[in-house]
Amino acid sequence: MAPIRRTERVHETEVGLQGDELALKYDDMQRHIRDRGWLQEKVDSVLEAGIDSGRVLEAGCGPGLLGLEWLTQASGDCTLVGVDISPAMLDRARGNARAYAVSHRTDYTIGNVLELPFPDASFDHAFSAASLHEWADPVTALREIHRLVRPGGAFCISDLRRDIDRTTFQFMKANIAVDMRPGFRTSVQSAYTVSEAADLLKQAGIHADSVTAVQMGLVIAGRKEKES
């Protein structure tokens, strides 16, 4: 399939998705994606990375639906800590956790992925989805997430991919609200290719087991090296 028009990467935002109105629209979009089963690919990527138990970090959690879907499907005894830069997104996430009846297993904290408010090795595992392209300094952000994972713990970072094929791009765009489509386009334009994501990991000094293309984006997965 033909890729969409290749362009140089254009950074999208320094402050994430902010404000009550945008949080509501993004929440609605995520519900639409979930209800049609299209969120499952991301959930599967997290589970396949070995993230299915313990205290788990979700960086850039937004309205929380991915993490909540994962939490209800993980086989182990899990708790989830979601971090986002937007207070409005966190309000949505807390409400969604109540709707899923898992508030007692979740905690949502405001924070910037460039300086996450937790000590080293605070989490058994960590994941993030649809946020990599928004990070002003992705190398620092990757190091921060890696810092918080215990030795031997798993990490999984998924996102859009700038070189997705045209058919996939049109399909994804057609299945979001009209007023969200310009933002979707800019998100794709600011996303990384697989080779670019691999280079970010190299710059961060992080080893990943795989950096792979999937139909709607890319997935980084690996485990933090155990201390010798």
At 5-20, the pLDDT tens digits run 456 777 666 555 557 8
At 144-196, the pLDDT tens digits run 999 999 999 999 999 999 998 888 888 888 878 788 788 888 889 999 999 99
Q: Is 171 among the domain residues?
A: yes
Could you tell me if 45 and 98 are in contact, meaning their C-beta atoms sit under 8 angstroms apart?
no
Helix, strand, coil shares, percent, the chain, to 5: 45, 20, 35
pLDDT for residue 86 is more than 60? yes
The CATH code of the domain that includes 213 is 3.40.50.150
User: Starting from the edge strand earliest in sequence, which strands make up the sheet with 54-59, in order?
Assistant: 106-110, 78-84, 54-59, 125-129, 154-159, 217-223, 210-214
Q: Is 42 among the domain residues?
A: yes
pLDDT the model gives residue 151: 97
At 192-218, the pLDDT tens digits run 999 999 999 999 999 999 999 998 899
At 58-80, the pLDDT tens digits run 999 999 999 999 999 998 799 99
Q: Is 121 among the domain residues?
A: yes
Task: Give the structural domain span for 50.
Answer: 20-223
At 21-65, the pLDDT tens digits run 989 998 999 999 999 998 999 999 999 999 999 999 999 999 999
Task: Identify the DSSP state of 136.
Answer: S
Counting the structural domains of the chain, the total is 1
Candidates 109, 79, 74, 112; CA nearest to 94 is: 109
Q: How far apart are CA 188 and CA 165, in angstroms?
A: 11
pLDDT cut 90: percent of the chain above it: 75
Q: Is 14 among the domain residues?
A: no
Q: Is 33 among the domain residues?
A: yes
Q: Count other C-beta atoms under 10 Å from residue 53's C-beta.
A: 14
What mean pLDDT, rounded, does the chain reach? Answer: 91
pLDDT for residue 1 is more than 70? no
Q: Is 1 among the domain residues?
A: no
Q: Are strands 125-129 and 78-84 parallel, antiparallel or unpaired?
A: unpaired
Could you tell me if 54 and 76 are in contact, meaning their C-beta atoms sit under 8 angstroms apart?
yes
pTM, entire model: 0.90
pLDDT for residue 4 is more than 70? no
Q: Whose structure tokens read 């989490």? A: 123
Q: Is 12 among the domain residues?
A: no
Q: Is 228 among the domain residues?
A: no
